[in-house]
Amino acid sequence: MHYFLTEEQQMIQDLAAQIAREKIRPQRAQLDEGEEFPWELVKVLAQSDLYGLYIPEAYGGMGGGIFENCLAVEKLAEACIGVATTFAASGLGAYPILLYGSEELKRRYLPDIAGGQRLAAFGVTESGAGSDVSGIQTTAVKDGDDYILNGTKQWITNGGDAEIYSVLAITDRSKGPRGATFFVLEKGDPGFTFGKKEKKLGLRASSTRELVFQDCRVSRDRIIGREGMGFIVAMKTFDKSRPGIGALGVGLAQGALDLAVEYARKRIQFGKPIISFQAIQHKLANMATQTEAARALVYAGARFLDSEPADMSKVAAMCKLFPGDVAMYVATEAVQVLGGYGYMQDYPVEKMMRDAKILQIYEGTNEIQRNIIGQELNKEYGRLKESFF
């Protein structure tokens, strides 16, 4: 299907597809089995300039937007969403700085992120604060011109491997939602350490660790935005980043569909390829239709969000919700098409099924996305003067 890409956008997509095909696909099984962080592939992506797709040219990027970033993420995810998540999570860590950072912070950190010299990460989730971001316990207490951070962040993608961290902490609990603040932390800051690397069901090429702050001193010039803006920064960051999760889902679904169709054309049962059986055709037809629908939503949603509309949250949530569910469905059906072979590690669909589950969980569970969409619908229809009854 033609999505009317510009020449530059087509080049981005082709480059990411080439890297996925030639560099990621041959290594994905090894990275998954060994739970290895893909440093070699990070360097390849850095040399390709893909890390700077969404960062303005003034800070060393290519000046694109959410849509261009989604094009690259999708193609990388066709091969391995573990590697693609490592890539995308650096953007998640960079967005708070890009959206609300001072000019000094932008010039200090964004060029290295754009060039892939330093990875970024996003530190919000805690053991008692997942879907409920307001439940965070990490504190930042003012001490002269500095702040002292204490607390622990959990399940942080790129944790320990990234060098730049956008971290949310409570600066004044009495102010409720206006009492949290984002800070830029650097790997190596005194008092900033890391917990163990988590062992996961899937996404094993991506590192996930705790961030631990014990009397970690940070100067006030590393505040993102201003004190008290933390929850606004977090929500606006998610509005920008959630289509990227959708792109991961589209890529994984396409990769699983490709393998299922190829297998169905070659697998002979009862004297003919199984793709000739209506039961298999219907499975593949549903998988293909759902994948294409998810892609259309992500592309249209990303383009819409790049136009900087006043209300972004509903569309951003849709872009995360539907493709995540589609990826889980298509990967599961791909395993079914391959039958016993699909259950074995010799075929990548087993890994894809394990990997897909996280798309319904991280960066806001799909239940939370439905809450957001429902709340926004309530607001929209509350503003309408027309009655439909």
Instruction: Classify residue 282 as exposed, middle or buried by CB count within 10 Å of its CB (0-12, 13-18, 19+).
Output: exposed
Q: Which amino acid is at 231?
A: F
Place of tokens 């590393």: 222
Phi, psi of 277 (to 5 degrees): -85, 135
Phi, psi of 170 (to 5 degrees): -85, 125
Helices (H) and strands (E) in the chain, counts: 11, 10
Q: Buried (b) or exposed (e) across 294-329, using 16+ Cβ within 10 A?
A: bbebbbbbbbbbbeeeeebbbbbbbbbbbbbbbbbb
Looking at the DSSP bridge assignments, the partners of residue 208 are 157
d(CA 313, CA 236) in angstroms, rounded, equals 8
Residue of 7, 68, 363, 376 marked catalytic: 363
Place of tokens 């394990």: 354
Q: Which amino acid is at 100?
A: Y
> Is there a contact between 206 and 217 (Cβ–Cβ < 8 Å)?
no
Measured from the Cβ of residue 264, the count of other Cβ atoms closer than 10 Å reads 20
Report long-range pairs for 330-333 (Cβ below 8 Å, ≥24 apart): 330/252, 330/253, 330/256, 330/257, 330/287, 330/290, 330/291, 330/356, 331/252, 331/253, 331/256, 331/355, 331/356, 332/356, 333/256, 333/260, 333/283, 333/286, 333/287
Structure-block tokens of residue 273: 């390829």
Helix H or strand E segment including 344: none
Active-site annotation holds for 363: yes
d(CA 42, CA 72) in angstroms, rounded, equals 14
d(CA 291, CA 297) in angstroms, rounded, equals 10
**Sign of the four-CA dihedral 216, 220, 222, 226:** positive
Place of tokens 């961290």: 165
Query: What positions carry a catalytic annotation?
Result: 363
